[in-house]
Amino acid sequence: MNEIITRFQWLEGVAGFSLSQWGLLLALLALCLVVIVLLFISLQTAGAQQKELVLKRFRRRCEYYQPSSPLSDAVISLTDYLHWLPVTEKDRFELGALLNQAGFRHPQAVLVLVAIKLMALLLLPLLVWVFASGPFTLGLLAKLTLAALFGSLMPEWWLKRRARFNKEQVRTSVPDAVDLMVICAESGLHIDAILQQVALDIHEWSPILADEMLYTHADIQMGKERYQALRGLSERTQVTELDHLVSALIQADQYGTPLVKALRDLAHESRRLHLLHVEERIGKIPATISLPLMLFVLIPLVVMLAGPSVVMLVRSLRNL
């Protein structure tokens, strides 16, 4: 604690700020961080309002889509003040695609992500500098640089990890969803009704795919062309099996191809692709566990076998 106070006193002489002013600055930065975190969390529930409007049209409401809370509405309204952030069209497109794959579809999601990156870029080096011991050296400068780099890249790393998780969950759920779509098509339901019904049925065990299908259904009901909404589903998920499903649905809608037969063939193909994916992951297991085996099995085994002999050799050398 004394080192921290000493560092602030040194800052007082260098930057001209008093100790109370530095405390106020840290408090403001902490408040900004809390606001940005609340903005990011509220994005997860912001899409519930649009989905609720669509479900009201059919007089059916899913119990897992609850209206957003007043706190969420208030936090989302704060995003109107983030338009000053410098975001190019290329960054907006790339970050928007990444956010869509991760499940964040609020219109201001890109601005919130950029704000979080900027806050992390400033706060992490500041925390490292405050709690570091010793004078300002090249080592401390390297730590500050690494902290700033980590803070700016950490949000995108987390989003990419979540996008990969969503993609894997969707891939494993497509075969069962296609089987349900076959049943719905045989019962005479249209493509729109099939998407809605399957989304409601699979939500318990595949909420990510259900959310994507319900979002696609909402786009169609709000006036978007059916093929555009289906292409959006394929672009958001980036799953090969779902690309084939989208192509089959578009062909059935535009050219009148038999939907039931196409879905049956697609169900068989998706099962085959799923098995190939599982076999591929199984084939990677030996290479994956080689390093852990060497570190945690081979090295301890060598120590256990050679340890007593080494000890006896050392004792014999001491007696010479």
Q: Model confidence over 218-272: pLDDT tens digits?
A: 889 888 889 899 998 988 888 888 898 999 899 888 888 888 888 898 888 888 8
Burial 57-75 (b: 16+ CB within 10 A, else e): eeeeeeeebeebeeebeeb
**Assigned token pair, 67:** 């209206």
In a domain? residue 306: no
| Rounded Cα–Cα distance for residues 15 and 9 (Å) | 10
Are residue 161 and residue 229 in the same domain, yes or no?
A: no
| Rounded Cα–Cα distance for residues 260 and 196 (Å) | 17
Burial 241-270 (b: 16+ CB within 10 A, else e): bbebbbebbbebbeeeeebeebbbebbebb
Q: What is the CA radius of gyration of the chain?
A: 28
Are residue 24 and residue 158 in the same domain, yes or no?
A: yes
Domain that holds residue 241: 168-283
Are residue 14 and residue 156 in the same domain, yes or no?
A: yes
| Rounded Cα–Cα distance for residues 159 and 167 (Å) | 12
In a domain? residue 32: yes
Residue 218's nearest CA partner among 95, 65, 71, 72 is 65
In a domain? residue 133: yes
Q: So what's the pLDDT on residue 181?
A: 92
| Rounded Cα–Cα distance for residues 17 and 24 (Å) | 10
Q: Which of 134, 166, 198 is the last residue of a domain?
A: 166
Give CA angle at 275 (266, 158), nearest 5°.
95
Instruction: Choose between 288 and 5: higher pLDDT.
Output: 288
pLDDT in tens, 45-82: 555 554 454 444 444 444 434 444 444 454 555 555 55
Number of domains in the chain: 2
In a domain? residue 313: no
Are residue 116 and residue 181 in the same domain, yes or no?
A: no
Handedness of CA 38, 43, 44, 45 (dihedral sign): positive
Are residue 245 and residue 122 in the same domain, yes or no?
A: no
In a domain? residue 213: yes
Q: Which of 166, 181, 209 is the last residue of a domain?
A: 166
Are residue 153 and residue 182 in the same domain, yes or no?
A: no
Q: So what's the pLDDT on residue 73?
A: 52
Are residue 87 and residue 202 in the same domain, yes or no?
A: no
Are residue 161 and residue 264 in the same domain, yes or no?
A: no
The residue assigned the tokens 């992951």 is 281
| % residues pLDDT > 70 (the chain) | 72
Residue 99's nearest CA partner among 108, 85, 110, 88 is 110
Q: Is the pTM of this model over 0.75?
A: no
**Assigned token pair, 85:** 């952030």
How many CB atoms sit inside 10 A of residue 35's CB?
A: 15
| Rounded Cα–Cα distance for residues 69 and 50 (Å) | 14
Give the least confident one: 19-33, 41-55, 118-132, 297-311.
41-55
In a domain? residue 62: yes
Are residue 19 and residue 162 in the same domain, yes or no?
A: yes
Q: Which of 140, 166, 192 is the last residue of a domain?
A: 166
Are residue 114 and residue 214 in the same domain, yes or no?
A: no
**Mean of the per-residue pLDDT values of the chain:** 77
Are residue 66 and residue 21 in the same domain, yes or no?
A: yes
Are residue 201 and residue 137 in the same domain, yes or no?
A: no
